[in-house]
């Protein structure tokens, strides 16, 4: 937690900067299916780890998951409306299909960091193309849950 001073000299909590962590389709199954590919940590485990790391970096982390493309688009708009400091986005398979997400990232000024647990380039060819990468600030992939913590550290430096 960051601490500041108000006009009377009392110590107050300085509002942490908001970072939205958005997760796309099927990531709700993390830690429950296919541990060989995606590991044993659940999304809740990753969220708890990011919340704790965020506190040490002065970032308020809000973690969400949706299986619906349009809901992810709405949340990107919300990031802009709320003046979020950054978005971490694991768009799941929408990474490889969604021009709607590409347009939404382009439509907001909030920096978006693309995150993947696996390294899509080391997998099937259809995962090599990311439609969102050209609009993202950067991409961190292949480090399992650590991809998220690396991305959060990068967000703190923006
Ligand atoms: O590596 C990543 O983070 C991915 O975004 C994960 C997506 C995949 O389509 C991308 O190519 C790379 C898939 C997420 C599915 O998550 C599951 C988790 C557990 C069990 C089944 C699916």
- Could you report the per-residue pLDDT of 116-151, keeping only the tens digit for each? 999 999 999 999 999 999 999 999 999 999 999 999
Retrieve residue 15's tokens: 């509002």
Which residues pair with residue 94 across a beta bridge?
A: none
Work out the percent of the chain whose per-residue pLDDT is above 70: 91
Decide: 92 in ligand 1 pocket, CB within 6 A.
Answer: yes
pLDDT at 10 over 50: no
Decide: 127 in ligand 1 pocket, CB within 6 A.
Answer: yes
Decide: 29 in ligand 1 pocket, CB within 6 A.
Answer: yes
Retrieve residue 51's tokens: 């919340």
CA-proximal residue: ligand 1, atom 12 (nearest): 92
Average pLDDT over residues 88-106: 98
CA-proximal residue: ligand 1, atom 7 (nearest): 92
Catalytic site positions = 38, 116
> Ligand 1 centre and the CA of 152: distance in Å?
19
Is the pTM higher than 0.85? yes
3-state helix, strand, coil in the chain (%, to 5): 45, 20, 35
- Total Cβ atoms within 10 A of residue 90: 25
- In this prediction, residue 144 carries a pLDDT of 95
Decide: 20 in ligand 1 pocket, CB within 6 A.
Answer: no
Alpha-helix runs per DSSP H in the chain: 35-38, 43-57, 69-81, 99-107, 146-157
In terms of Cα–Cα distance, which of 148, 77, 64 is closest to 106? 77
Contact (CB, 8 A) for 30 and 63: no
> Ligand 1 centre and the CA of 7: distance in Å?
49
């Amino acid at each position: 937690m960051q601490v500041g001073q108000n006009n009377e000299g009392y110590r107050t909590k300085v509002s942490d900067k908001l970072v939205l962590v958005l997760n796309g389709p099927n990531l709700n199954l993390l830690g429950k299916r296919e541990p060989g590919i995606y590991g044993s940590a659940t999304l809740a485990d990753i969220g708890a780890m990011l919340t704790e790391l965020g506190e040490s970096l002065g970032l308020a982390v809000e973690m969400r998951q949706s299986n619906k493309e349009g809901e992810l688009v709405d949340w990107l708009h919300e990031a802009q409306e709320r003046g979020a400091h950054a978005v971490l986005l694991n768009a799941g398979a929408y990474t490889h299909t969604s021009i709607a997400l590409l347009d939404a990232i382009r439509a907001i000024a909030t920096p978006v960091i693309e995150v993947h647990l696996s390294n899509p380039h080391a997998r099937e060819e259809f995962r090599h193309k990311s439609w969102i990468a050209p609009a993202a600030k950067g991409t961190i992939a292949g480090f399992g849950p650590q991809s998220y913590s690396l991305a959060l550290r990068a967000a703190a430096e923006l």
